[in-house]
């Protein structure tokens, strides 16, 4: 071997390497006396798909919500693409635009058409013209298989269709990260796959994703990494294959025994 550099960061040449998409360091969060996030350390590189597992109440939703600042933290550092999370103001709006989030409940605007649901934020926040916003929305609706429904209202669509619209609506902001919090939990079983298929294709295209889901099929197909939480802490952090075949902790074995 020739002389090896002592510091990996010097090997990439003169340009510094891209920062991780998400960084959390020593993050603590309480709700009153309840310690919901315990010293969370997490780094997610660009393009990685992380599935977050854990029993109900373990802090999975809170973890997601802190990343786009829907929930403030008590202490610690959260950075998105190398920038610390802003507290308020215009920077916060920009951050929220960069970090898309899809919830269990679809939260579409009931009195707006499907197309309007997707074009609203890009026009308001990204200042896109109506023509540009419409063109992009139709492209995204087509991609999630809903283009023919564009003039309908949310209540006229099935749950699976509404959730696909919610995904298209998030994507219309050109987010750098997509957070999914149990996106298929409220759906009838026959509609789960149509939503997961959209998420799998997004994962394959290189989107950075943090996905809270109990859908093991998705985890096996699309996850690069599985994080298992219990009582507000990250208890395991490994690749899906090792996690499912040889979980290290009693908590994870117990959890897997219940859901598999
Ligand atoms: P999970 O998504 O894993 O089920 P959550 O992050 O929703 O867990 O909740 C973690 C814990 O924090 C739970 O005990 C929950 O009851 C509590 N919690 C969540 N949100 C709030 C809130 N806004 N106020 C008080 N307690 C909360
Ligand atoms: Mg939750």
Q: How far is the CA of 62 from the centre of ligand 1 (A)?
A: 6
Residue nearest to atom 19 of ligand 1 (CA): 62
Mutation choice for ligand 1 from 30, 62, 66, 210, CB with most ligand atoms inside 8 A: 62
DSSP strand pairing (177-181 vs 99-102)? parallel
pLDDT band, very low/low/confident/very high, at 147 (cuts 50, 70, 90) = very high
pLDDT, tens digit, 9 for 90 and up, residues 221-248? 999 999 999 999 999 999 999 999 999 9
Q: Give mean pLDDT, residues 144-156.
A: 97
In this predicted structure, what is the pLDDT of residue 8?
46
Atom from ligand 1 closest to the CA of residue 181: 2
The CA distance from 202 to 218, in Å, is: 12
User: Can you name the residues that pair with 123 across neighbouring β-strands?
Assistant: none
Q: pLDDT, tens digit, for every residue of 155-180?
A: 999 999 999 999 999 999 999 999 99
Mean pLDDT is lowest, of 9-13, 72-76, 127-131, 141-145, for 9-13
Task: Report how far ligand 2's centroid is from the alpha carbon of 69 (Å).
Answer: 16
Q: Write down the ipTM of this complex.
A: 0.98
Tokens of 137: 């929305």
Of all residues in the chain, the percent with pLDDT exceeding 90 is: 82
Query: Residue 14: what pLDDT?
Result: 56
Predicted confidence at residue 7, as pLDDT, reads: 45
Ligand 1 lined by 84 (C-beta under 6 Å): no
Residue 36 clears pLDDT 50, i.e. is over it: yes
Query: What is 147-205 written as a DSSP string?
Result: GGGTTS-GGGS-HHHHHHHHHHHHHTT--SEEEEESTTTTS-HHHHHHHHHHHHHHHHT
Q: What global pTM score does this model have?
A: 0.92
CA of 157 to the centre of ligand 2 (A): 25
202 pLDDT tier (thresholds 50, 70, 90) = very high
Cβ(54) – ligand 1 distance below 6 Å: yes
| pLDDT of 5 | 44
Are residues 224 and 217 in contact, defined by beta-carbon separation less than 8 angstroms? no
pLDDT at 3 over 50: no
Ligand 1 in contact with 93 (CB < 6 A)? no
Minimal-distance CA residue to ligand 1 atom 18: 31
- Residue pLDDT, tens place only, 73-101: 999 999 999 988 877 777 787 788 899 99
Nearest CA to ligand 1 atom 12: 36
And the tokens for 69? 């600042």
User: How many A from CA of 37 to the centre of ligand 2?
Assistant: 13
Look at ligand 1, atom 11, and give the residue with the nearest C-alpha.
Answer: 57
From the CB of 55, is ligand 1 less than 6 Å away? no
pLDDT attached to residue 259: 83
């Amino acid at each position: 071997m020739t002389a090896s550099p002592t510091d990996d960061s010097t090997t990439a040449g003169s340009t510094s390497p891209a920062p991780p998409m998400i960084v959390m360091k020593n993050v603590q969060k309480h709700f009153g006396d309840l310690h919901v996030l315990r010293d969370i350390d997490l780094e997610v590189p660009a393009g990685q798909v992380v599935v977050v597992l854990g029993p109900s109440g373990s802090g999975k939703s809170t973890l997601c919500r802190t990343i786009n600042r829907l929930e403030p933290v008590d202490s610690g550092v959260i950075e998105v693409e190398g920038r610390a999370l802003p507290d308020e103001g215009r920077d916060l709006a920009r951050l929220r635009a960069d970090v898309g989030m899809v919830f269990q409940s679809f939260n579409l605007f009931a009195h707006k058409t499907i197309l309007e649901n997707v074009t609203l934020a890009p026009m308001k926040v990204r200042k896109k013209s109506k023509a540009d916003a419409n063109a992009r929305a139709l492209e995204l609706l087509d991609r999630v298989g809903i283009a023919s429904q564009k003039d309908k209202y949310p209540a006229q669509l099935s749950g699976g269709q509404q959730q696909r619209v919610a995904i298209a609506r998030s994507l219309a902001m050109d987010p750098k990260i997509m957070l999914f919090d149990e996106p298929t939990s409220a759906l009838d079983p026959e509609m789960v796959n149509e939503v997961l298929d959209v998420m799998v294709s997004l994962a394959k295209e290189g989107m950075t994703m943090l996905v809270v889901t109990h859908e093991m099929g998705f985890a096996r197909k699309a996850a690069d990494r599985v994080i298992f939480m219990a009582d507000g802490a990250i208890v395991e952090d490994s690749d899906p294959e090792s996690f499912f075949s040889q979980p290290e902790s009693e908590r994870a074995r117990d959890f897997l025994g219940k859901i598999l």
